[in-house]
Amino acid sequence: MDEEQRAILLESATRFPTPEGVKLSYGTSGFRADASILSSTVFRVGILAALRSLKTQSVIGLMITASHNEVSDNGIKIADPSGGMLTQEWEPFADTLANAIDAQDLVRLIVEFAKKENIPFGGVHSAQVLLGRDTRPSGESLMEAARQGINSIVGAVAIDMGVLTTPQLHWMVRGRNKGMKASEPDYYEQLSNSFGCLMDLIPKEMAALAMDEKLTVDGANGVGGEKLEELKKLLNGLVIQVRNDGKEGGVLNEGVGADYVQKEKVVPCSFGPNDVGLRCASLDGDADRLVYFHVLSKSNNKIDLVDGDKILSLFALYIKEQLGILTKKEDEEVNNDYRVRLGVVQTAYANGASTDYLKHLGLEVIFTHTGVKYLHEKAAEYDIGIYFEANGHGTILFSEHFVCWLEAKKNELASISTDLEMQKAALRLLAVSNLINQAVGDALSGLLLVEAILRHMGWSIQKWSELYQDLPSRQLKVKVADRTAVITANAETVVVKPPGLQEAINAETAKYPQGRSFIRPSGTEDVIRVYAEASTQESADSLAKSVAQHVDHFLGFGSS
């Protein structure tokens, strides 16, 4: 690093001192904390993003959001050149940078890291970082901190894309690196066009059914609502009403949004008894999660939740059906020697009934650690990899090889085969690969795919919900002295440390029919999460409670 670069870094870093006594870590989904203590972290992540761009010689993304957290929080995460999450190899360095004690320490760490990673300084190569933020009031000043971080690396350019959903930013990073058109209008155009394709390919008998065209969406008082207002103008055959769009004074994520709806299983604000029977969906604060629901009765606020597991099941069913048509053996004219690898990825939080359902469909179901970075990585190993967390974050990945095969197949079918059904199946799968965000889980593209598939199947939300019945479940959080004391194995389903705790969980679980319970330290909050499932809600509640008591006994503040 030359003297000029060093001087710029030292000078700018001095403007962003770290707050006293704060230690942050790049968790399941970047850094998150109360917004008031984040500017130095965001500034430093700006530097890191510029370094990542120099290293990869590609466009990198930086998103300022704290997703479903309360409005006073904020956060920051990096999108890698593929549009996916920052490579896990760089996470420890992100932690080290964020926690450097002062400007000198910071510069020393950067020099060390750049040497190890062979990162060229001095403006020989240029770096480009796309910046996006959600609607949080703290976003604007944090954006400025990120910009200053990026600009303190010579040759790095920050491009402010303004207010975006998280998946829009990831989509843009992926698109730019592939040399595609990747502006916000391009995003809306691609989604609405591929949705239009799928709608045009709906079987005639289904298209003739009188289906409810209206979808009512809870925008979590965040960015998703306003972006959906844009998108819906371009859609035919679907009428979207957005509530909780943040314009009527509602607070971001307060009593609204996908996280609230999924965890509490009650209607969000501004939904109620008059909505019985309506098909409703809920986005989270940065629109990368999606759940559906319908209001059950006029007399209370309970809902029937259609969560990420059921969205996954709907997608899996549809994809499997289309693949079945496309690769059926009867058509002699068409060469069918390619075995398409379809994989479904879940975490331990997936409802057991969903896993049973998917396995009964004959699908390969794989489990990974919690956090989309793990699910995404696994799904990318397949020709088509479908992943979802129960909370509604997920997407469908199509390998490049498979998309090429599909294109070729479509052309082959158009020229030699008279089988219209096979042609349509190829066209549908191609449309899905264009509709569903290939970079990261995206509530807006997921919502359009759900809508198209429901129409294809001729299903109401009630019919969809009846695919299988969720096992009753309960999630609890336990505050402990040190959550890192818990070490797990087998995709987080077994506690290895502290010794004895897993045996205690096993003994509790054995008391309940269809009982299942596990614990793990959260990567986004300072808690241990407890999950329990059993044949009745009372049993699930009671199992969760007794496991939480064991956690408290082994790890609580009294135990250290």
Ligand X SMILES: CC(=O)N[C@H]1[C@@H](OP(=O)(O)O)O[C@H](CO)[C@@H](O)[C@@H]1O
Is 286 a binding residue for Mg ion by CB under 5 A? The answer is yes
Alpha-carbon span 132 to 169, nearest angstrom: 6
**Residues in contact with 324: Cβ distance below 8 Å, sequence separation at least 6, in sequence order:** none
* Strands 394-398, 384-388: pairing kind: antiparallel
The binder of ligand X chosen from 525, 545, 556, 559 (CB under 6 A)? 525
Among 18, 39, 524, 542, binds ligand X (CB under 6 A): 524
Q: Which of the choices ligand X, Mg ion, none does residue 284 contact, using the CB cut-off of 5 to 8 A by kind? A: Mg ion
Taking the alpha carbons of 174, 178, 184, 185 in that order, is the dihedral positive or negative? Answer: negative
Give the other-Cβ count within 10 Å of 510's Cβ.
8
Q: CB under 6 A: which stretch of 102-110, 295-303, 482-490, 516-524 binds ligand X?
A: 516-524
415 counts as catalytic: no
Q: What is the CA radius of gyration of the chain?
A: 24
CB 511 within 8 A of CB 535: no
Residue of 18, 39, 67, 445 that binds ligand X (CB under 6 A): 67
Three-state SS string over 146-195 comes to HHHHHHCCCCEEEEEEEECCHHHHHHHHHHHHCCCCCCHHHHHHHHHHHH
Mark the segment that binds ligand X (CB under 6 A) among 127-135, 272-280, 352-360, 368-376.
368-376
Residue 254 backbone phi and psi in degrees, to 5: -90, 105
Choose the contact partner of 28 out of ligand X, Mg ion, none; CB within 5 to 8 A by kind. Answer: ligand X
Residue 333: Cβ within 10 Å count = 10
Q: What is the dihedral of CA 235, 239, 240, 241, to 10 degrees?
A: 140
The site partner of 522 among ligand X, Mg ion, none (C-beta below 5 to 8 Å per kind) is ligand X
Please give the helix or strand (H or E) that residue 384 lies within, else none.
Answer: strand 384-388
Binding residue for ligand X, selected from 391, 433, 465, 502, defined by CB under 6 A: 391
Tell me if 470 contacts Mg ion by CB under 5 A. Answer: no
- In angstroms, what is the minimal distance from the CB of 370 to ligand X? 5
Minimum CB distance to ligand X, residue 120 (Å): 33
Query: Binding to Mg ion by residue 284, rule CB under 5 A?
Result: yes
Annotated binding-site ranges for substrate = 389-391, 520-524, 529
Write the single-letter amino acid at 382.
Y
Task: Examine residue 28 and tell whether it contacts ligand X (CB under 6 A).
Answer: yes
Q: Given the rule CB under 5 A, which of 225-233, 288-296, 317-325, 423-431 is the region that contacts Mg ion?
A: 288-296
- Figure out which of the listed residues 107, 287, 372, 439 binds ligand X, where binding follows CB under 6 A: 372
Catalytic residue among 12, 67, 354, 517: 67
Please give the structure tokens belonging to residue 91: 């996470």
Identify what 533 binds: ligand X, Mg ion, none; CB under 5 to 8 Å per kind. none
Q: 313 to 372, contacts with Mg ion by CB under 5 A?
A: none
Nearest distance from C-beta of residue 475 to ligand X, angstroms: 7
| CA angle in degrees (0–180, nearest 5) for 376-379-380 | 85
Q: Which residues bind ligand X (CB under 6 A)?
A: 28-29, 67, 349, 370-372, 389, 391, 393, 522-525, 529
Q: Which residues bind Mg ion (CB under 5 A)?
A: 67, 284, 286, 288
Catalytic residues: 67
